[in-house]
Structure 1
């Protein structure tokens, strides 16, 4: 057993040399360490296992040791080594940057900064969710912002991995988490939904935007339970400068029912990066909390609610992909109809999908393109109008559809770049018929199929011999 009180700089533990003691955490001590052959700066986390210490410290250490060793990517510290209960420790990358907690004194922050930080954290959450992990303790002190602005998640002691035992659930009957940030379903002892992390991120953005916590700082479980029926004040009550689109996003994250929140962190990130496309509902205009009858109805619902059904992270993500429709608005109606029919089939299988309708306005590489068409209309705005008209019959909730027109000399590259930058899961696009010119130059759809980071469905019309591709 490591006696944390006797540790000193220069001491060596399993080949790791203690260099400098860092600020302690609530459940662990931290040391900067070095090791022969390791160029990265390293940190050793040593859990506090003193007599009388909270048993959650012990279980959380084992949980984090299992989970962190399975995670990879730029949004988590790189796992290096771990000891056992004879010498308990975890060694990981010492992430350069600053804790998000250091920004809290500056709150409220400008809306654009809140959105940027929120999008980076959502990106990190999407990364770990795709690796079957729900963090379940998202809060400013567990987020590090690198110098380039990207977010790194730390402290996986309360997390859950779909494919590993959930020691927290097995050994504790009461809910665990941080009172100000814990999601309603966690209060009900349910740890199986990645949308719990979306709720906690919503709390974080609320604080950054207003300087206030939506649920205060409750310490007891009885206080936590109030969020099962009591909604928070709208952010604009505390900060009138919060724009409607940001209030819409934050309050959607803070919905009591997970199904009413964003279906995935990728979808949340999408809205934060495209505020002009956020569909505004009554949330955006709220000026007060819900009335007593609504609150009473929620309270009665909680009293009679059945146990929540366990769902895997992968199961939730599979139901909520981002689907991109790359539409050639200059194509004949039968190709547009075929594309719409294919989209209906895709959307019928994934009811929580977000749909991004995209059109690429091809421009010259060198020459200046006219700002207006022959009728004096702005081509970009005209395409946007046509895009919305084309998509109007599709069975998609207005909150789940956005429209984008890009200007590019290379339509295939524009489509692929958009898919990569926005974590698109499925591209549906049209392709015109074969011709000598297309065979010589290569079709846009073929280039997209070859380069896209996701599934691509190419739709053809029965009889087509046009030479152009889906760039329109």
Structure 2
């Protein structure tokens, strides 16, 4: 189909200029032709290319996006407006989101700082998690499909290769080969497995690698054999290209790029939490690599990949539910030893029945506490003291297999700080001491636990003192 001329009217929309001419579609700025009618936001119309030389995947991917985009909600996707008749003139009208694609940062003459890379990665992870919560996997995440808004959040574009767990997978039905962009496609996608949310985590890892090093971890293969190499051959460590890459960043990137999905981050929320808290990243031997794997290890990987059986992808929401982020609010004032003990017992029980859970230990201090210090160094010391207290509190927990991080927040409103932290980090469950703060006045005013339980969007468990410490001491003496 030839490009549309400015001023053309289609089903009540007036076409303006063509703002993008891609390999699979043209995108035009549009508005309503009827005077006085407005959507309240700028719009674009996407029309698939349908020339003689275009393959069937062009129209199939359009059908996929037509199926998925209207049911997506939230700030990480463009708002859907209208769609055209597939038999007459297929098109999609959606919100135009201002911003710059991730390619902007990759085209800069110098590599972004580690902090900037982590910030961009966290934005992508939050956006991907939002999709996964709606049982959608993007499956074509790449720099051109990630838009960074002025506020730092990410919007994901182009759902033509996506998969919705509750809708027919049209691409899987029509295509009998790997579907995806070769540089960013995950190993399981290469062998035809679609719908695993950890495939999007792999693609984010590829983009983090490129941001950190300026190189693609697996190059840009053009053959199926070239793409299959990622099933067994790990990429060169980022520090081989950039020796100044921080160990925590290399650890995160290489974990995202593990050939087996089970070895990657279990959810995009886990990835976002690590990117936002580099000091809490658990470092393994991955963080120190400076060269590739020895030949003997590669041969073992090859044999393991050759015999690997790929299981059906987990339902995205089930994967999130099986690997939740559990948050515990540990107070440091107005709390008894009995409450701290009971909190620890409740956390232990919760982790015991959730083997894939991650634990975030959080305490909130007053801004006045740090303002009493005169230097940044003393403020950092204060945070370290509270972090040490959190670590000491958690020593009695069995954290085997459970990643844990410690967070000291500054806020005058403790309840609001806890609720905001839980929302921004996709916490599934928050454990709070019911006897924390203002116990003697809870008949008359809303205490911190009551406000948290009222305002939080996640499950909240209020823990009361289970056993008086006098009895604990007696039991110890006996």
TM over 0.5: yes
- Measure how far apart 1:362 and its partner are: 4.5
1:50 maps to 51
Contact 2:356–2:401 under 8 Å retained in 1: no
2:315 maps to 312
1:97 maps to 99
Which range is displaced more, 235-244 or 413-422? Answer: 413-422
- Measure how far apart 1:463 and its partner are: 5.7
2:29 counterpart of 1:29: no
2:361 counterpart of 1:357: yes
Contact 2:141–2:184 under 8 Å retained in 1: yes
- Measure how far apart 1:241 and its partner are: 2.1
- Measure how far apart 1:195 and its partner are: 0.8
Q: How far apart in 1 are the matches of 2:395 and 2:200?
A: 32
Q: 1:30 to 1:435 in 2, by over 3 A?
A: closer
Q: 1:138 to 1:49 in 2, by over 3 A?
A: same
1:166 maps to 169
Q: How far apart in 2 are the matches of 1:220 and 1:359?
A: 52
Match of 1:262 among 265, 279, 286: 265
Cα distance per residue 1:258-287 (max 9 Å; x no partner): 111111111111111111211211111111
2:62 maps to 61
- Measure how far apart 1:190 and its partner are: 0.6
2:356 alignment partner, SS class: coil
Which range is displaced more, 391-400 or 242-251? Answer: 391-400
Q: 1:271 to 1:436 in 2, by over 3 A?
A: closer
Q: Which runs of structure 1 show a deviation greater than 6 angstroms over 4 or more consecutive aligned residues?
A: none
Contact 1:244–1:280 under 8 Å retained in 2: yes
- Measure how far apart 1:134 and its partner are: 0.3
- Measure how far apart 1:291 and its partner are: 1.6
Match of 1:455 among 459, 463, 474: 459
Q: 1:410 to 1:74 in 2, by over 3 A?
A: closer
Contact 1:371–1:378 under 8 Å retained in 2: no
2:221 counterpart of 1:218: yes
Q: 1:79 to 1:431 in 2, by over 3 A?
A: same
Cα distance per residue 1:355-377 (max 9 Å; x no partner): 11112234659x965799xxxx9
Q: How far apart in 1 are the matches of 2:399 and 2:191?
A: 32
1:440 alignment partner, SS class: coil
1:13 maps to 10
Q: How far apart in 2 are the matches of 1:168 and 1:395?
A: 45
Q: 1:142 to 1:379 in 2, by over 3 A?
A: closer
Q: 1:117 to 1:462 in 2, by over 3 A?
A: closer
Q: How far apart in 2 are the matches of 1:168 and 1:350?
A: 34
Contact 1:218–1:224 under 8 Å retained in 2: yes
Cα distance per residue 1:348-407 (max 9 Å; x no partner): 332222211112234659x965799xxxx9654333222112212323257710012234
1:334 maps to 338
- Measure how far apart 1:40 and its partner are: 2.0
- Measure how far apart 1:55 and its partner are: 0.8
Contact 2:439–2:447 under 8 Å retained in 1: no
- Structure 2: 5+ residue stretches without partners: 470-478
- Measure how far apart 1:436 and its partner are: 3.9
Cα distance per residue 1:296-334 (max 9 Å; x no partner): 112111222223223111111111221101113564443
1:450 alignment partner, SS class: helix
Q: How far apart in 2 are the matches of 1:228 and 1:22?
A: 38
2:476 maps to none
- Structure 1: 5+ residue stretches without partners: 466-472
Contact 2:366–2:412 under 8 Å retained in 1: yes
1:44 alignment partner, SS class: strand
1:470 maps to none
- Measure how far apart 1:173 and its partner are: 1.1
Which range is displaced more, 233-242 or 340-349? Answer: 340-349
1:439 maps to 443
Q: How far apart in 2 are the matches of 1:40 and 1:362?
A: 40
Q: How far apart in 2 are the matches of 1:7 and 1:462?
A: 71
Contact 1:30–1:43 under 8 Å retained in 2: yes
Alignment size in residue pairs: 457
TM-score by length of 2: 0.90
TM-score by length of 1: 0.91
- Measure how far apart 1:45 and its partner are: 1.0
Aligned ranges 1:63-462 → 2 under 5 Å: 63-83=64-84, 84-106=86-108, 107-329=110-332, 331-362=335-366, 369=372, 380-397=383-400, 400-432=403-435, 436-462=440-466
- Measure how far apart 1:17 and its partner are: 1.2
The root-mean-square deviation of aligned C-alpha atoms, in Å, is 2.3
Q: How far apart in 2 are the matches of 1:304 and 1:362?
A: 56
Q: 1:435 to 1:351 in 2, by over 3 A?
A: closer
Q: 1:204 to 1:6 in 2, by over 3 A?
A: closer
- Measure how far apart 1:26 and its partner are: 1.2
